[in-house]
């Protein structure tokens, strides 16, 4: 810390010395001058009386001198306090400026460290080893916690990583699926599973921009007890046999998503777009579906039991089967659901037969 020394100007010093001498030598005599000989003679004072008058006047001068010196001393004290206050003010400003400079240097150093960590983590995502890629995912997660302004960029990078490494471009096949043969995502693509966990477990106080994960292959994803930001784009995503228990997918776009045999128990699907989605065998028990749109969705074998707000969802044009389970007293026919029998999905049945049966049950 650098101290600033404040000195009085030379003119002020000269004036102070002049005032001191004047208080001692001049002002008392000007205020209380000694009586002249003429005044003493006029008063007819002589001898001891003359001496007493002169002595009394000298005592008055001394008293005045003492009073003036005390006043001058007080002025000096006040002046010293003024200069001391000025020095403290300047020192405080200098100290504050120094602290701000140190804080700025610290912030620059910290930003440099974050940038270096960020670059290294992104490089790890492109590594050849699965372990290296996993390390990159969790390194980005830690950076997002340490530097919240970088969170959005990190989540966009992780979402892009998922889209690039697990794309799904095949034409959707609504035929039989060997569900048991589907490997767990944490086994087939551990880094993608980790990235999805990071995306789903962000803090509530962090900025929640909608995620873009459309057209990705996330079969047997495990993403329970997470809060996906409102409005996530999951259109055409492949989520066969995924575990989304108690997951919040509020206002998500799951249009034409493949959610067959997915566990959606207690999930939040409020105002979610599920039009033409494949929900064959999906378990939606106790889910919240207020305002959700299941229009044209495939509900063969899906379980909707214990859903309290199913009547507040749109199921017009959705296709169900005899194996589809509904809440007690729910009128699926009134909701516009189309019932299809098993033969309607049997590839071995003649096409004209499947068409005829479907048309009959739609009436």
Return the higher-pLDDT residue of 356 and 79.
79
Tally the residues of the chain: 363
Section 65-93 average pLDDT? 79
Q: Is the pLDDT reported for residue 349 higher than 60?
A: no
Please give the Cα distance from 297 to 319 (Å, whole number).
6
CB-side exposure of 54: number of CA atoms within 13 Å? 12
Task: Provide the pLDDT confidence category of residue 58 given band limits of 50, 70 and 90.
Answer: confident
Give the whole-number percent of the chain exceeding pLDDT 70.
74
User: What residue segments make up the domains of the chain, in order of their start?
Assistant: 10-107
Task: Compute the mean pLDDT over every residue in the chain, rounded to the nearest whole number.
Answer: 81
Return the higher-pLDDT residue of 66 and 186.
186
* Residue where the block lists tokens 């620059």: 108
pLDDT digits (tens, 9 = 90+) for 192-234: 999 999 988 876 655 566 788 999 999 999 998 888 877 889 9
Task: Provide the pLDDT confidence category of residue 331 given band limits of 50, 70 and 90.
Answer: very high
Q: Is the pLDDT reported for residue 237 higher than 90?
A: yes
Task: Provide the pLDDT confidence category of residue 27 given band limits of 50, 70 and 90.
Answer: low
Residue 337 and residue 318 in contact, taking contact as beta carbons nearer than 8 Å: yes
Mark 87-110 as b/e (b = at least 16 C-beta within 10 Å): eeeeeeeeeeeeeeeeeeeeeeee
Tokens, residue 110: 């910290």
In this prediction, residue 278 carries a pLDDT of: 95
In this prediction, residue 175 carries a pLDDT of: 62
Using CA of residue 87, residue 91, residue 94, residue 96, what is the dihedral sign? negative
Mark 41-60 as b/e (b = at least 16 C-beta within 10 Å): eeeebeeeebeebeeebeee
CA 175 to chain centre: 45
Residue 266 and residue 246 in contact, taking contact as beta carbons nearer than 8 Å: yes
Q: Which of 23-37, 91-105, 173-187, 268-282 has the lowest mean pLDDT?
A: 23-37
Q: Is the pLDDT reported for residue 171 higher than 80?
A: no
Please give the Cα distance from 14 to 27 (Å, whole number).
17
Helix 151-165 to helix 130-146 angle (10° resolution) is: 160
Please give the Cα distance from 272 to 151 (Å, whole number).
25
Please give the Cα distance from 64 to 57 (Å, whole number).
11
Report field, pTM of the whole predicted structure over 0.85: no
In this prediction, residue 180 carries a pLDDT of: 76
């Amino acid at each position: 810390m650098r101290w600033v020394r404040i000195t009085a100007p030379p003119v002020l010093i000269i004036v102070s010395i002049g005032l001191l001498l004047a208080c001692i030598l001049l002002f008392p005599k000007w205020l209380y001058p000694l009586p002249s000989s003429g005044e003493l003679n006029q008063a007819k004072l002589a001898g001891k009386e003359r001496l007493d008058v002169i002595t009394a006047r000298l005592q008055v001068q001394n008293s005045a001198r003492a009073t003036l010196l005390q006043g001058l001393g007080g002025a000096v004290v006040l002046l010293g306090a003024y200069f001391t206050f000025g020095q403290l003010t300047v020192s405080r400003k200098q100290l504050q400026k120094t602290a701000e400079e140190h804080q700025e240097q610290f912030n620059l150093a910290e930003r440099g460290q974050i940038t270096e960590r960020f670059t290294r983590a992104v490089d790890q995502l492109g590594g050849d080893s699965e372990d290296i890629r996993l390390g990159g995912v969790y390194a980005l997660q830690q950076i997002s916690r340490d530097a919240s302004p970088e969170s959005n960029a990190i989540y966009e990078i992780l979402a892009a990583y998922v889209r690039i490494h697990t794309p799904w471009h095949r034409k959707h096949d609504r035929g039989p699926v060997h569900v048991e043969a589907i490997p767990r995502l944490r086994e087939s693509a551990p880094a993608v599973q980790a990235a999805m966990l990071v995306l789903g477990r962000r803090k509530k106080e962090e900025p929640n921009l909608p995620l873009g994960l459309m057209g990705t292959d996330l079969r047997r994803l495990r993403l329970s007890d997470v809060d996906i930001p409102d409005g996530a784009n999951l259109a055409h995503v492949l989520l066969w046999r995924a575990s989304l228990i108690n997951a919040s997918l509020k206002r998500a776009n799951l249009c034409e998503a493949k959610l067959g045999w997915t566990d959606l128990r207690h999930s939040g699907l409020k105002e979610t777009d599920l039009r033409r989605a494949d929900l064959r065998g999906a378990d939606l028990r106790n889910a919240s579906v207020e305002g959700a749109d299941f229009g044209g969705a495939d509900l063969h074998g899906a379980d909707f039991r214990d859903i309290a707000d199913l009547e507040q969802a749109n199921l017009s044009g959705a296709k169900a089967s005899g194996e589809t389970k509904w809440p007690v007293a729910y009128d699926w026919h009134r909701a516009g659901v189309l019932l299809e029998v098993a033969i309607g999905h049997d590839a071995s049945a003649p096409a004209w037969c499947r068409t005829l049966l479907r048309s009959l049950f739609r009436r």
